[in-house]
Amino acid sequence: MSRPSDSDLIARDRRRVWHPYAPPSAYPLFEVVAAKGVRLQLADGRELIDGMSSWWAAIHGYGHPHIEVAVRDQLERMPHVMFGGLTHEPAVRLCERLVAMAPTGLERTFLCDSGSVAVEVAIKLAFQYWLSLGRPERSRLLTVRGGYHGDTFATMAVCDPVNGMHDFFRDVLPDHLFAERPTCRYHDTFEERHIADLMRLLETHRDEIAAVILEPIVQGAGGMWFYAPGYLRRLRDLCDEHDVLLIFDEIATGFGRTGRLFGADHAGVSPDVLCVGKALTGGTLSLAATLASGRVCDAIAGGQPGALMHGPTFMANPLACAAANASLDLLETEPWRKQVAHIETELARQLAPCRSLGAVADVRVLGAIGVVELHEPVDMSVVQPAFVEQGVWIRPFGKLVYTMPPFVIADEDLAVITKAITSVVSSLA
């Protein structure tokens, strides 16, 4: 049912559209008509500073001219072509660049449509690797609690099984192994006890496990938890010792969000498989990628059927590849490291007062990520309109009120975001 303040578009939306993580008729909804720089323009004339980078993707802001020109030029030449049996310059160049900038040892890139699909491909690679080697019993995954890897069935099965967004489906998902999440905060000194539970599971189930999969340094939508680089270094050693593949899901952490190009760079380690997405195109078009080591590629090529059995229809879409190449151009030429370091400093300083608020359990900052964790989940029907009234777009979930602003955000706009977070969280007390 429409409400008195609904625009015609929102009323139509509620009759026919289904939004993410929402009932069939979503509330609240806000009609957006334009996006430029770090601002969203609503149909009623209000402007909102985007503190979410459109779910962490629009790292350069909206409408960056370099990306727009690249997409426009590609549109005039070839907007799409199937990638089965055909190839094109934007895709090849992008794959070359991703391999060159990724952690060492990753040799080949599979392009796909979304982050969830990139993780699906990574999981399929791990399973097919062991099938190709004649080890079909290696059919389980090991991960850590508090993780989030996507909304498709294979990815749901490695999201946190209790406190994640998919516990409702627990009984129909494959049975994988879950270790305690890393308890060592980012600046803590890693100790062996921090990984003892995962080590125990590796030793007990080594002949069943195809791969360990986790988000390096930052657990994203599963809890916005930041943990010590030493954990990843020890994990790499353990995977080597037990002959288990290691998959890093860098959908959220890739392309500078944590202050390093990849989360893996904080630890100086390389996975066997790496997933990227979200910011790959600067938030312009949907594109993701799965990178694999020579070890994985050689095993699959040498087994049966000798090919990776996956093929999205819009794989390597030329428009998306052109946008991704343009976004990588900006990461090579713009001072994003300096920008992210500055955002980190300001977020830490400006969110610090939230620590004294009664509703707040924790405040943590890493790179261009600021998190205020509450004791109780928020009521989105109350909190979302409150942020809009403050002139910002912040999309909390569960107990987490957080911001991941575009790297190009100005100080005065960042201050508006942090002031709004403090104000809204204060009202919850």
Question: Catalytic amino acids?
Answer: 21, 148, 249, 278
* Residue 103 DSSP symbol: S
Residues facing residue 155 across a β-bridge: none
Which contiguous run of DSSP H or E holds residue 144?
A: strand 140-144
For residue 163, the SS3 value is coil
Query: Do 276 and 320 meet the contact criterion of CB atoms below 8 Å apart?
Result: no
Q: And the tokens for 118?
A: 């990139």
Distance CA 357, CA 404 (A): 21
Q: CB under 8 Å to 426, separation ≥6 — which residues? A: 357, 359
Q: Which residue has the tokens 């998959």?
A: 247
β-sheet with 400-403: strand ranges across: 360-366, 369-374, 400-403
Distance CA 195, CA 422 (A): 35
Distance CA 399, CA 352 (A): 17
Residue 282: count other Cβ atoms within 10 Å of its Cβ: 28
What is the β-pairing status of strands 209-214 and 140-144? parallel
Residues facing residue 91 across a β-bridge: none
Query: Do 207 and 137 meet the contact criterion of CB atoms below 8 Å apart?
Result: yes
Query: Do 259 and 341 meet the contact criterion of CB atoms below 8 Å apart?
Result: yes
Q: Residue 60: exposed, middle, or buried by beta-carbon count in 10 A (0-12, 13-18, 19+)?
A: buried
| Encoded amino acid at 421, one letter | I
Distances from the Cα of 251 to the Cα of 38, 115, 197, angstroms: 21, 6, 25
Residue 33: φ, ψ to 5° = -115, -15
